[in-house]
């Protein structure tokens, strides 16, 4: 008898047809990397994945942060011997303390002498005989004992939900504009959960934004690497650009022009580093610059897809995710960001592309972008 973890992966991966093995391999590699520092062995039994570890609790915690894992089952491996199966099932129900139960059998080993219905019924009857206060509930049992009949038999009732999603690193790359706020880390998480590799860019405006504000962004990037393993954070000096905009452009156009610069610089970095797309934490209507017209005007500076995974989400729901993924407490630390310092009193909420292009034309955009990119700091996290 052995205690093991059985890993089930997202049903989406099953739908990948001929590519399935590529996704499986990536997921297996990601699992192994997530378990760095934990002693484990990885075993397969007819298509199922098992982990043996002397630190099951820690292994489970790590697996809970691997995209593509759908269920983490705490299983007991026994010989495919009917008496043993019955005893282990009884133990499982007893230990759960449940008042109702059912047995669910999956007979992958077709040479097992009884069919799955018979097994469920007979094992269920055995449990009932031995636990007089318990009853069977087929529809909503408090405890479901799964019997997975393979070469050996795997018995389990404890199932921990995984994150689902696609294995990280199977869907190209994006450059996330990561500010210190609540939204952008959530946007990065959502892209990563679809298997997209996420690198980060932060626009830093010293001395108007402090080292602490930068450290906060770094911390957020680090939290994201709990899910992704590693990232690169490009810290772009943004003060000169902002000063030029303030000096030469209309006050009510500051924000939108600044956002255009962020988009242009991000796309430049993406291009230089073979990153396919960019991503932001924008959500329609959330603040003055996140109007449909505002998005149109900043998108004009994108030479590749600019993804906004939160576009149709409510703030409340974004905050929920942020708490769940562990970025919220860092996001709400009160350090200023470059946008809050240069906010116009009455920002344009319906900017017109031609008008903004014209206003912006007084700036030497290419030179400003070159300078910013030349002087950026590159921080590797989790490498």
Contact residues: ligand ATP, CB under 6 A: 177-179, 181-184, 201-203, 262, 280-282, 286-287, 289-290, 337-339
Smaller CB distance to ligand ATP: residue 63 or 200?
200
Rounded Cα gap, residues 85 and 34, in angstroms: 33
Nearer to ligand ATP, 86 or 216 (CB): 216
Work out how close the CB of 228 gets to ligand ATP at its nearest, in angstroms, rounded to a whole number: 17
Could you tell me the smallest distance in angstroms from the CB atom of residue 33 to Mg ion?
A: 31
Min separation Cβ 201 and ligand ATP, Å: 6
Please, which contacts does 55-62 make with residues 24 or more away whose CB atoms are closer than 8 Å?
56/3, 56/5, 59/5, 59/35, 60/5, 60/160, 62/34, 62/35, 62/38
Burial 71-84 (b: 16+ CB within 10 A, else e): bbbebbbbebebee
Rounded to whole angstroms, the Cα distance separating 344 from 305 reads 28
Closest CA to 119 of 92, 95, 91, 84: 84
Pairing of strands 173-177, 48-53: unpaired
Least distance between ligand ATP and beta carbon 203 (Å): 4
Contact criterion met (CB below 8 Å) for 85 and 120: no
Nearer to Mg ion, 157 or 255 (CB): 255
Q: How far is the CB of 287 from Mg ion (least distance, A)?
A: 8
**H or E element: which one contains 212?**
helix 211-228
Stretch that binds Mg ion, among 117-125, 133-141, 175-183, 367-375 (CB under 5 A): 175-183
Which residue's C-beta sits nearest to Mg ion? 181
Residue 67 contacts which entry, Mg ion, ligand ATP, none (Cβ below 5-8 A, type-dependent):
none
Question: Taking CB under 5 A as the rule, does residue 181 contact Mg ion?
Answer: yes
**Binding segment toward Mg ion, per CB under 5 A, in 28-36, 176-184, 199-207, 249-257:** 176-184
Q: Residue numbers of the site for Mg ion (CB under 5 A)? A: 179, 181
């Amino acid at each position: 008898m052995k205690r093991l973890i059985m890993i089930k992966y997202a049903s989406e991966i099953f739908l990948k047809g001929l590519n399935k093995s590529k996704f499986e391999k990536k997921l297996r590699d990601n699992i192994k990397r997530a378990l760095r520092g934990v002693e484990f062995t990885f075993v397969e039994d007819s298509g199922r994945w098992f982990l043996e570890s002397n630190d099951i609790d820690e292994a489970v915690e790590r697996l809970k942060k691997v995209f593509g894992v759908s269920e983490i089952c705490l299983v007991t491996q026994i010989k495919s011997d009917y008496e043993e199966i019955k005893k282990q099932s009884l133990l499982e129900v007893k230990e759960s303390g449940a008042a109702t139960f059912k047995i669910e059998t999956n007979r992958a080993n077709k040479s097992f002498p009884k069919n799955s219905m018979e097994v469920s019924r007979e094992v269920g009857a055995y449990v009932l005989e031995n636990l007089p206060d318990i009853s069977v509930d087929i529809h909503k049992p408090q405890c479901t004992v799964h019997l997975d009949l393979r070469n050996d038999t795997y018995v389990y009732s404890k199932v921990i939900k995984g994150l689902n999603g696609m294995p990280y690193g199977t869907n190209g790359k994006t450059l996330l504009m990561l500010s210190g706020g609540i939204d952008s880390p959530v946007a990065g998480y959502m892209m990563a959960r679809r298997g997209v590799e996420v690198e980060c860019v932060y626009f830093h405006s010293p001395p108007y934004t402090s080292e602490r504000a930068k450290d906060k962004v770094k911390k957020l990037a680090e939290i994201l690497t709990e899910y992704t393993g590693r990232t690169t954070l490009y810290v772009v000096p943004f003060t000169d650009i902002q000063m030029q905009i303030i000096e030469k452009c209309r006050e009510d156009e500051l924000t939108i022009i600044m956002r255009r610069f962020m988009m242009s610089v991000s796309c430049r970095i993406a291009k230089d580093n073979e990153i396919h797309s960019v991503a932001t934490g924008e959500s329609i209507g959330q603040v003055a610059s996140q109007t449909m017209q505002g998005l149109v005007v900043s998108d004009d500076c994108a030479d590749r897809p600019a993804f906004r995974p939160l576009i149709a989400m409510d703030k409340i729901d974004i905050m929920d995710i942020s708490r769940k993924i562990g970025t919220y407490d860092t996001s709400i630390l009160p350090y200023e960001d470059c946008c809050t310092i240069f906010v116009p009193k009455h920002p344009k909420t319906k900017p017109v592309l031609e008008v903004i292009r014209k206003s912006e034309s007084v700036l030497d955009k290419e030179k400003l972008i070159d300078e910013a990119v030349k002087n950026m700091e590159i921080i590797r996290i989790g490498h």
